[in-house]
A and B are shown apart, each in its own frame.
Chain A
């Protein structure tokens, strides 16, 4: 039975692929000068958008609200479907080219247009909100299990979520932070599940997935900034002392404060590394998958449909492998971010050992 289902699914996928091929070939037959612009396609898929693509249709998108503050100080809110076709609505349009290409601009006479304050619910913002909602639903399902079943161990999906919480909290946060674990666990666990959900949603190609969230520098910047703020705002006196007057030979910190400068830069490089690591890992994974799929179209164009079909088998297999690998990377990167945040926060909670003993006595 299982074999039959697998065969049917595989055949269905193959048929869909073939159908897509033929449709695509038909679509492009008329335009002789059409060339696959790989770079544009890649960045269109990885970037943000006003509206959410639906499968098998290139022109129709799920409309999302655009919220902008114009140069006159007035707020404007409308659905993205009013401008995604290239129209101008209330003086706003999506720039086709120029400095603000792909963004909403206001006509003000200049060719680039005026870039307003843009608080639009773009595809990425919508993705973030969906991810946040999913995390809330998941965690409340775990919480409600305890409310309903008391001490009984969770089953199925809830058990899996609890397993991950247990892994992150009991095996990572608690051993590192000790008695401070309870205080910072909510932030770290929230960060972990939010990143994990965003990573995994990014791997699903159709709505509600498909938004390249953690592969966007703005998203990882906010996450790293939060860790940076918590680390430095809760840092102890001893932590700051170690930065500006570390325990190294005096020659290294006076008269030229070499170590203090290095330590001070370390404050910023640590969250920066967090930001770039997550961003680059997720972006890289997505990019490889897109390039592998694009190879089919590039080869079809450069050689023939036959070569393209042949390539598709290889590239789909490789893309599938990459997606599986990305699933693993999604977990690893979420975990690495959480682990490093835990370590950074814990490092800022250095206590003078003598002082600590005196406080305990």
Chain B
């Protein structure tokens, strides 16, 4: 039967056609197709990896930003607290300084008052002395008779004056 007896012509042409097809496709089509397919698969794999990396990076960035914000808030609170502390401290210091200054001024005033008091005492004494001498002179001039008795009297008077002061 014809179907089971391979015809030589058909075998020949089949072989020629198959060989030609093989050489044409192996030279021009298959390498390009396979390479393009593999390249695209690589590209897609890379794209997926890149996307995953980007996503994880984004997640990290968000966490980092949250951390930064929290830190900044903490810092702000610290600064505010410090400022408040500093304010009270400055006020305290100013008060203290003012007190010291005031005391100094009072002291200086007391000293000057004391001085002027002493001075005025001295002056008074001098003046009193001078007056006394003048008085004594007058007295002495009037009572020139007894020099010695007079002089004793003057001394006695002067001492009295001094003790009186």
Task: Give residues in A with beta carbon < 8 Å to B.
Answer: 43, 46-48, 102, 117-122, 124-125, 128-129, 131-132, 135-136, 139-140, 142-143, 146-147, 151, 153, 162, 165-166, 169-170, 182, 185-187, 189-190, 194, 215-219, 221-223, 226, 283
Which residues of the other chain, B, contact A132 by a CB distance below 8 angstroms? 17-18, 20-21
Shortest CB distance A361–B (Å): 28
Beta-carbon contact of A143 and B32 below 8 Å: yes
B1, B7, B37: the one contacting A48 at CB < 8 Å is B7
In the complex, whether B14 has a CB less than 8 A from a CB of chain A is yes
A124, A186, A219: the one contacting B25 at CB < 8 Å is A186
Beta-carbon contact of A146 and B33 below 8 Å: yes
Beta-carbon contact of B21 and A136 below 8 Å: yes
In the complex, whether B24 has a CB less than 8 A from a CB of chain A is yes
Beta-carbon contact of B34 and A185 below 8 Å: yes
Shortest CB distance B34–A (Å): 6
A46, A139, A153: the one contacting B40 at CB < 8 Å is A153
B:1-60 near A, CB below 8 Å: 1-15, 17-18, 20-22, 24-26, 28-34, 36-37, 39-41, 43
Beta-carbon contact of A125 and B10 below 8 Å: yes
Shortest CB distance B97–A (Å): 80
Q: Contacts A187-B22, A218-B6 given; indicate if A119 touches B33 (C-beta within 8 A).
A: no
Cα–Cα, bound, A136→B4 (Å): 29
Which residues of the other chain, B, contact A283 by a CB distance below 8 angstroms? 3
- Nearest-CB residue, chain A, relative to B7: A218
Which residues of the other chain, B, contact A189 by a CB distance below 8 angstroms? 25, 30
Shortest CB distance B5–A (Å): 8
- Nearest-CB residue, chain B, relative to A101: B2
Beta-carbon contact of A135 and B3 below 8 Å: no
Beta-carbon contact of B2 and A47 below 8 Å: yes
Which residues of the other chain, A, contact B22 by a CB distance below 8 angstroms? 186-187, 190
Known: A162-B37, A218-B10. 4 other contacts (CB 8 A): A102-B2, A118-B9, A140-B28, A142-B29
Which residues of the other chain, A, contact B17 by a CB distance below 8 angstroms? 125, 128-129, 131-132
Shortest CB distance B165–A (Å): 123
B contacts with A, residue count (CB < 8 A): 36
Query: Ordered nearest first, which 5 A-B pairs have the shortest CB separation?
Result: A186-B26, A218-B6, A146-B36, A139-B29, A218-B10
Shortest CB distance B142–A (Å): 145
Which residues of the other chain, B, contact A117 by a CB distance below 8 angstroms? 8-9
B8, B14, B18, B28: the one contacting A118 at CB < 8 Å is B8
Cα–Cα, bound, A72→B112 (Å): 162
B15, B24, B25, B29: the one contacting A222 at CB < 8 Å is B15
- Nearest-CB residue, chain B, relative to A161: B33
Which residues of the other chain, A, contact B32 by a CB distance below 8 angstroms? 143, 146-147
Query: Most A CB atoms within 10 A — which of B30, B31, B37, B39?
Result: B30
Cα–Cα, bound, A24→B115 (Å): 159
Which residues of the other chain, B, contact A216 by a CB distance below 8 angstroms? 3, 6, 10
Cα–Cα, bound, A201→B37 (Å): 27
Shortest CB distance B161–A (Å): 129
- Nearest-CB residue, chain A, relative to B13: A125
Beta-carbon contact of A165 and B9 below 8 Å: no
Beta-carbon contact of B3 and A119 below 8 Å: no
Which residues of the other chain, A, contact B20 by a CB distance below 8 angstroms? 132
Query: Most A CB atoms within 10 A — which of B1, B13, B31, B37?
Result: B13
Write out, one digit per residue, whether chain B residues 44-84 have a CB within 8 A of any chain A CB (1) or not (0): 00000000000000000000000000000000000000000
Shortest CB distance A122–B (Å): 7
Cα–Cα, bound, A139→B9 (Å): 27
- Could you list 29 examples of A-B contacts with CB < 8 Å? A48-B7, A48-B10, A120-B9, A122-B9, A124-B10, A125-B13, A129-B17, A132-B18, A135-B25, A139-B29, A139-B33, A140-B28, A142-B29, A151-B43, A169-B34, A169-B37, A182-B34, A190-B21, A190-B25, A216-B10, A217-B3, A218-B6, A218-B11, A218-B14, A221-B6, A221-B11, A222-B11, A222-B15, A223-B18
